[in-house]
Structure 1
Amino acid sequence: MTRVYRGYRCKGDREEVIQRITKWVNELTVRDRVPRVCTERSVGRGPREFYLFVAFEQEENEPLEDRVAKFFDFIQTQPPRLGKPIGDFQRQEISKFVGQDLHFEEFSRRLRYNPLVVPDAGDPFDKEGDEGLSLDELELTQQCDRLLLWMSAHAEGAFATLDSARRALRIGMDTRSVLRTLRLLGHCESSRDGSRWSMAPSTVIQVDEGCIVLAGPRDESLIQELRQRFRDKTEQVPQPSGAGPSAFRIRTDDPGDLSQLGVAVERHADRALARALPSIDHWAKALESVPIDLGSFTLQRLSGDNFDDVGAFRGEPGFYRIQRTGTNARASYLYYAPELGWRRGEWAGLRFLARLREFGPAPCTFDARKYRLFVPLEWRWPEIYERALVLSSGLLPTREDNGNGSWLVYGSIEQELLELLQPRLELEVQDA
């Protein structure tokens, strides 16, 4: 494998140009083949003109790998336009007048915000709160927008790093709730153990007839390009209670080809996801298995809305809060069933599973006239199933409290989507 440096003569702000190339390297997933960049040490043609060299890996005497060739074709069409390359060079040929190589991964870490260092971010699967938000909605929306920009610049990272960034931006929501929100909206994904996150591909998703919404990474340049392309048809809609980044919506029936912007088009992501989802039993079997020595733990089991002491463990299925004996011991939440053993997963999903197995079908109410679905708060669905509801509108649910309890209300829900989800989640659907 040989490293080659492709040169360009550039105009503009040096860091901004590198930032854009970093974004394209991450979005087109070629960092393993396009790992670094360098620029000349001094600028003799003017304060905003410079030579830039993008390094790429190539097998000797072989043509460029297809995805690398597509990357170089792509960057020539994007602003800031790099123009035609001036040639391919070995490092020793340019070493006298260029600075030290800059790794794209290292550069992305310093874009936009410097996170605070917080050694212990806690357990990604700890209890998720259902409490309301106290911050001003507009202020919280702006903070979440800035966090999404930060994550888009980084492309991926650890849960602890995200927790640090959230603290730096003074977002009052818990990091687990923030990350769950961003996954529900289709902006990012997490590793199985919750310790790492990565941005999803940039995609526009049809949410209503004549309306699409942007999911995945975003930056000011992409937003500006979409505004210019669709003129007065774009809007940014705050999430309910400001509990997430604003939804960037475009009022159009046909977005056309957005591949030059690095954006894919998905017509019915909600139904496509629902069709791919397993039954709740298969979802439970796929949860992470956790070996437990119960002799060193105290146990509480969810009964109704509270965790009650159980004393000696008798093998009863359910959702448990377990904690090691001794001081300063952190609690964990696990689901147990004789056929599954101990399983670990996201908090709301384990609670749903436990209630479903204890009380029977999961209740919900559907208003077919207004395309709204009401889910009792204590029956909040496992996240991957809830995501299908959120992708129907690009908006998080609202919360309604009345004499009959607290409800999560999802909009733009079609009958077809509900019919796909009903057998998978063992739902008992009532008409509004």
Structure 2
Amino acid sequence: MPQIQRWYKGFSYRGNPQELVKQISEQVQRHNLGKFVPLLRVEKGAKSRKQFYFFLAVESLQEGEIPTEVQSTLLQLSFFTSAIKGSPSLTYEQIKPMVGVAHDVYEYTNNIPYQPVQQLTCDNPFDLIESVSINNSLIDIDMSRRYEQLLYWLSALGSGTWESFKEACAALKIEEPRRILRRLRLLGYIEFSPDGYRWSIARIAIVKILSDSNLQEFILCGSRSINLLEKLTHQTTLELINQPRGEAPPCVRIQADNPSIISNLIEELSKEFSIINAGEVSKLLANILPELITWKQSLRNLQGIVPSLYEWELFDGNDFVSCALPRETGMYRMYNTKISDRPLHTLFYENGCWFQGDWYGLRFLALQHIGQQCIARYEVETKRLAIPVSQRLPEIYERALVLASGILPKYFNSWLLYENVERDVMLQICYKLHINCGGESTHV
């Protein structure tokens, strides 16, 4: 299969950099260009009414070749009239010294300063799957191998600091380490300390998943090594399944005729590896996870914040807007513009408490607080669950969905699609997070 190349096209522009990011993001989403244009980087310190450079990340089979779909739509905007001459294509290493944080124009993450209101495209997202233009089947094999090398390195090291994690990503030319860290946590490979300073590799775990065949199926979580995979290959039927777009290490799926084979396998491997039979983790997590309010109270409460010393933005359900001192409950971004244009923290404020957690989790709390109905759609026949991109779940709840298959969700327009999710797991998650799942009753 041909390998997808990621490269950058540079432009100069005089105007409002914030408006540039907003309009380009809107166009990418409107024309479903996410598979060609995954992110945008703007020159550090870019200011309105002054000329600055920005760089469009392009993914194509041939470096320097802009897909026709991008040329006929996105590049018609006035922002793209002044391309950097003499450089048809640039690498991240070439532009790294002069650019700031990436603005992801496809996923909604902590790095996106502008979030256009996203309209759900269909009451039933499963009707979209066959015709949707975002191609989840394109796999960047080179990137997939780099993620696998990263997992091998992390497994060999065992634990380390956030700085060591970033350095490992940089050495393998893997961008956006925070996003990578989240994917590895969702897949059960790694854990991170509450203060965000240290990581540790998870113990090797054989996790049972639902199977449509007569065979028992399992996935491999935690630490990974070539030696371990070789031993598994000799003793079981093992399959490597690439993640959507190759954006994480391949999933290792194991098949066995009966559970006793796995029990014997673990007993044999335990002589050399620290390994456990973790059971049906998706079900276990769904059962033990608390309701949303209890989960919120378990979040780390930052102490000693003096609001008057900082500038603040409040999430209004679609975007962050400037505000005075925080008074009402909600999700806030906290700035010290004398130090940096980037937020120091993103926090959820309530009754004098400053809760720190994963960005999607804080946004989910904010959406529920302002009364936005959170929804999902479930297809019983295929056991697929769809969640709106704009309502992505708190990380620990999403992990229960991901570990039902060992595969990260696929993107279909405005929806995230999770595979192999048992109905009971769906009902538990929806009930605990107050999600309306179509015609399904979520009372448990």
Question: TM range, normalised to the smaller chain?
Answer: 0.5 to 0.7
CA distance in 2: counterparts of 1:296 and 1:314, whole angstroms: 12
Using the size of structure 2 for normalisation, the TM-score is 0.64
Residue 307 of structure 2 is aligned to residue 294 of structure 1: yes
2:375 & 2:289 partners in 1: Cα distance?
19
Q: State the secondary structure of the residue aligned to 2:321.
A: strand
Q: Which residue number corresponds to residue 335 of structure 1?
A: 347
Q: Alignment length, in residue pairs?
A: 302
Residue type of the partner of 2:185?
R
Amino acid at match of 1:137: D
Cα distance in 1, alignment partners of residues 151 and 347 from structure 2: 32
Could you tell me how far apart the structure 2 residues matched to 1:393 and 1:188 are?
A: 17
Q: Does the 8 Å contact 1:188/1:216 carry over to 2?
A: yes
Return the letter of the residue paired with 2:404: S
Give 1:148's aligned residue: 151
- Post-superposition offset of 1:425: 0.8
**Aligned residue among 91, 102, 110 for 1:127:** 110
Distance in 2, Cα, partners of 1:370 & 1:136: 23
- Residue 159 of structure 1 is aligned with which of 151, 154, 162? 162
1:178 Cα offset (Å): 0.8
Residue 415 of structure 1 deviates from its aligned partner by 0.8
- Please give the alpha-carbon distance, in whole angstroms, between the structure 1 residues aligned to 2:372 and 2:428: 19
Write the letter of the residue equivalent to 2:231: E
Report the counterpart of residue 369 of structure 2 in structure 1.
357
What's the counterpart of residue 422 of structure 2?
Answer: 414
Paired with 1:239 and 1:325, the residues of 2 have a C-alpha distance of 39
Contact 2:139 2:244 in 1 (8 A): no
| CA displacement, residues 301-352 of structure 1 (integer Å, 9 cap, x when unaligned) | 1123211111x22511111111014253541343344335211111111111
The share of aligned pairs that are identical, in percent, is 30
The question of 1:190 aligning with 2:192 is answered yes
Match of 1:388 in 2: 400
Do structure 1's residue 221 and structure 2's residue 227 form an aligned pair?
yes
- Distance in 2 of aligned mates of 1:287 and 1:267: 27
1:307–1:289 distance in 2 versus 1, CA, 3 Å? same
The aligned counterpart of 1:177 is 179
2:250 aligned with 1:249: no
Q: Indicate the SS of the match to 1:248.
A: strand
* Among 119, 139, 142, the residue aligned to 1:139: 142
Change (3 A) 1:246 1:129: farther
Preserved contact between residue 189 and residue 202 of structure 2 (Cα < 8 Å): yes
The one-letter code matched in structure 1 to 2:217 is C
User: Residues 334 and 342 of structure 1 are in contact (CA less than 8 Å); yes or no, is this contact kept in structure 2?
Assistant: no
Task: Describe the shift of the 1:366–1:281 C-alpha distance in structure 2 as closer, same or farther (beyond 3 A).
Answer: same
The residue number in structure 2 matching 1:323 is 335
RMSD between aligned residues = 2.6
Equivalent-residue separation in structure 1 for 2:337 and 2:249 (angstroms): 40
SS at match of 1:331: coil
TM-superposed deviation, 1:128 = 4.9
The change in CA–CA distance for 1:167 and 1:431 in structure 2 (over 3 A counts) is: farther
Go from structure 1 to structure 2 and tell me whether the alpha carbon gap of 1:196 and 1:298 turns closer, same or farther (over 3 Å shift): same
Q: Which amino acid aligns with 1:196?
A: R
* TM-score normalised by L of structure 1: 0.66
Aligned counterpart, 1:18: none
SS in 1 for 2:405: coil
Deviation at 1:260, TM superposition (A): 3.0
Q: Which residue of 2 aligns with 1:268?
A: 280
**In the TM superposition, what whole-angstrom CA distance separates every residue of 1:349-384 from its partner, at most 9, and x where no partner exists?**
111110111124421111111111111111110100
Q: Secondary structure at the match of 2:351?
A: coil
Q: 1: distance between equivalents of 2:111 and 2:282?
A: 24
CA contact (8 A) 2:206 2:220 kept: yes
Equivalent pair of 1:186/1:216 in contact (CA under 8 Å)? yes
Q: Which amino acid aligns with 1:339?
A: N
Partner of residue 67, structure 1: none
Contact kept, 8 Å, 1:296 with 1:325, in 2: the verdict is no
Whether the 8 Å contact between 1:128 and 1:347 is mirrored in structure 2 is no
The aligned counterpart of 1:235 is 239
SS in 1 for 2:338: coil
What do the CA deviations read for 1:112-161 (whole angstroms, capped 9, x no partner)? xxxxxxxxx99xxx925699999962111101000000000001111110
Q: Contact 1:366 / 1:431 at 8 angstroms: preserved in 2?
A: no
2:317·2:366 contact (CA, 8 Å) conserved in 1? no
